[in-house]
Amino acid sequence: MVSLFLVLSFVNIVGAGNDAKSDNDRAITSKVVDKLQGDSDLKGSMINVETKDGEVTLKGMVNSNADINRAAQLARSVDGVKKVDNRLKREQASSSSSSTYGGSSRAPDCPVGANWNC
């Protein structure tokens, strides 16, 4: 289980399974995270996934509007997802932005379920 946490932190896509109220929600969160993690266009994105009653919320930063749409599409494709609340934001182009870490679009290693600003 620890290795799963490390893998999720490594690609900076985070699932907030601790907040899920049911085993079904935790399973959905895990499947959405797996889909996002497996997508080459979204690697390095800072996406937090939360699920409640089959409704998935995506929060965080991505590189483009296309990435915002792609993440929502992938989340919708997971069995059991009833609705996707896409709150993803496009990262600003400026390297001095406070949403970047040392000019990089990658977040520091954060534990699973942590806010991406950890």
The reply to whether 103 falls in a domain is no
The reply to whether 99 falls in a domain is no
Is it the case that residue 96 has pLDDT exceeding 70?
A: no
The reply to whether 101 falls in a domain is no
What's residue 45's pLDDT? Answer: 86
The reply to whether 113 falls in a domain is no
Q: DSSP for 26-40? A: HHHHHHHHHHHHH-T
Give the Cα separation of 85 and 49 in Å (integer): 10
How much of the chain exceeds pLDDT 70, in percent? 60
What's residue 91's pLDDT? Answer: 83
pLDDT tens string 65-90: 999 999 999 999 999 999 999 999 99
What's residue 99's pLDDT? Answer: 47
58 forms beta bridges with 49, 86
pLDDT tens string 84-95: 999 999 987 654
Helix (H/G/I), strand (E/B), else coil: 74: helix
The reply to whether 20 falls in a domain is yes
Q: Residue 41: what are its φ and ψ, rounded to 5°?
A: -70, -25
- Mean pLDDT of the chain, nearest integer: 75
Torsion from C-alpha of 48, 53, 54, 59, nearest 10 degrees: -20
Distances (CA, A) of 9 to 13, 73, 94, 104, 110: 7, 22, 24, 16, 6
Is it the case that residue 52 has pLDDT exceeding 90?
A: yes
The reply to whether 117 falls in a domain is no
Q: What's the domain count of the chain?
A: 1
What's residue 109's pLDDT? Answer: 53
Q: Are 55 and 85 in contact (CB under 8 A)?
A: yes
The reply to whether 82 falls in a domain is yes
pLDDT tens string 23-36: 899 999 999 999 99
Domain span including residue 40: 2-90
The reply to whether 106 falls in a domain is no
